[in-house]
Amino acid sequence: MAERRGWAPETLAAHTLAGVDATSGAIVPGIAPSTTYQRDADNNYRRGAIYSRADNPGYKVAAELLAALEGGVEGLLFASGMAAATAVFLALEPGDHVIAPQVMYWALRRWLQDTASRWGLEIELVACDDLAAVAAALRPGKTKLVWLESPANPLWTISDIEAIAALAHQAGARLAVDSTVATPILTRPLLLGADIVMHSATKYLNGHSDVVAGALVTAEKDAFWARVRGNLSGVGGVLGPFEAWLLQRGMRTLPLRVKAASAGALQLAQRLGRHPHVAAVLYPGLPNFPNHAVAARQMQGGFGGMLSIRVQGGEAAAVATAARVELWQRATSLGGVESLLEHRASIEGPASPVPSDLLRLSVGLEAVDDLYDDLDRALRG
Ligand SMILES: *Cc1c(COP(=O)(O)O)cnc(C)c1O
């Protein structure tokens, strides 16, 4: 209802859409710990909720806000980003052909290659930043899902969501987009033609590095979505009520946090590009970055808070730089208020396409000068 009023994302997030509690007048939504709900005397469940694996009222606050921000018709929360992503693949049939990016979140790539393949999905990893490569890989009638991530971890590869949605639909395939890094503040994949958008809500949506959660939003409540929805309660990867509450609380400042992190990342990318110990900066906001024009078209208001640097001197120099930072935290994950830095090849292992001299940076909300000075000192040794 609220999105029909034409509210901006800042307004939607600050307001939450949840409304005031009818009994107490509380303006902040409550936590709903009950696992079960009373059946009416006439043997119906007129109030909606039956059992919390499917229906906790506390899930609705974050799910409805995310659906409004993404411009979709329904959102679902999951116990993690992996639970959300795998619910989509588990809605396919054995034998279905799936296109996924060569550069993508490593744990999902590994799950697709190890587990989804064993269960009969034909997984093909394609350079999804190359439209001709996607077009050539699509098999009309056989390809049922194209999975994108843009910007994609940890090289921040940009895929053209609108063009790939058109190609996928022509071939009879759905398009799902992992939009964890862009967030609905910068990109709204459903409005570019995607069918489903996925988030690791652990990252920017929650934003405070204290909840593991995932989410999906759909453009349409069709039969495929019904199967995805069935995988939430059926596989059972549901979020706890306290985590759902923390998530909606974090989301209320999402627009501010994402814009601040994006502005900081752009400044750092520009300054690090001139640093004598930096061999390359990977950031979609830099004019010489591959597909920068696509990023500028499909990302509004910033290019995200994630960038990577390749350190002069190779792997040893990169690891040594990471060892010397004091303000940046050496840790995996992203999208929190505190800036994180990680030698990415160490976590992804030998099958990864990530160069060994690469440090991944998640820019938080600290002053950019402090972040730059700490990195500058660490790079100089
Ligand atoms: C973290 C992450 C995931 C996985 O999410 P979890 O919440 O850790 O399960 C998926 N995609 C991207 C882009 C991520 O950064």
Q: Which atom number of ligand 1 is nearest to the Cα of residue 104?
A: 13
Phi/psi zone of residue 145: left (φ > 0), alpha (ψ -120 to 50 degrees), beta? Answer: beta
Q: Which residues approach ligand 1 with their CB closer than 6 A?
A: 80-82, 105, 108, 149, 153, 178, 180-181, 200, 202-203, 212, 214, 334
pLDDT of residue 1: 43
pLDDT of residue 2: 46
Query: Which residues are 217's β-sheet partners?
Result: 75, 197
82, 246, 333, best to mutate for ligand 1 pocket (most atoms within 8 Å of CB): 82
178 is an active site residue:
yes
Cα 348 from Cα 343, distance rounded (Å): 9
103, 149, 180, 246, best to mutate for ligand 1 pocket (most atoms within 8 Å of CB): 180
Q: Which pTM was predicted? A: 0.97
Structure tokens at 189: 């994949």
Cα 75 from Cα 207, distance rounded (Å): 18
Of 55, 129, 160, 178, the active-site residue reads 178
Q: Whose CA is nearest to atom 11 of ligand 1?
A: 105
- Separation in Å, CA 196 to CA 126, 169, 173, 292: 19, 13, 12, 24
106, 157, 200, 204, best to mutate for ligand 1 pocket (most atoms within 8 Å of CB): 200
pLDDT of residue 6: 85
Structure tokens at 125: 């990893």
CA of 81 to the centre of ligand 1 (A): 5
Structure tokens at 160: 């053209």
Structure tokens at 18: 């949840």
pLDDT of residue 4: 54
pLDDT of residue 368: 98
Residue 16 in contact with residue 3, Cβ under 8 Å?
no
pLDDT of residue 113: 96
Q: What domains, with CATH codes, occur in the chain?
A: 2-251 (3.40.640.10), 254-380 (3.90.1150.10)
Using CB atoms within 10 Å of the CB of residue 287, give its burial: 0 to 12 exposed, 13 to 18 middle, 19+ buried: exposed
pLDDT of residue 16: 80
Residue 285 in contact with residue 266, Cβ under 8 Å?
yes
Q: Any residues with CB less than 8 A from the CB of 222 and at least 6 apart, and which?
A: none
Per-residue pLDDT of the chain (381 residues; tens, 9 = 90+): 445 568 999 999 998 888 898 899 999 999 999 999 999 999 999 998 999 998 898 999 999 999 999 999 999 999 999 999 999 999 999 999 999 999 999 999 999 999 999 999 999 999 999 999 999 999 999 999 999 999 999 999 999 999 999 999 999 999 999 999 999 999 999 999 999 999 999 999 999 999 999 999 999 999 999 999 999 999 999 999 999 999 999 999 999 999 999 999 999 999 999 999 999 999 999 999 999 999 999 999 999 999 999 999 999 999 999 999 999 999 999 999 999 999 999 988 887 889 999 999 999 999 999 999 999 999 999
105 is an active site residue:
yes
Residue 181 in contact with residue 189, Cβ under 8 Å?
no
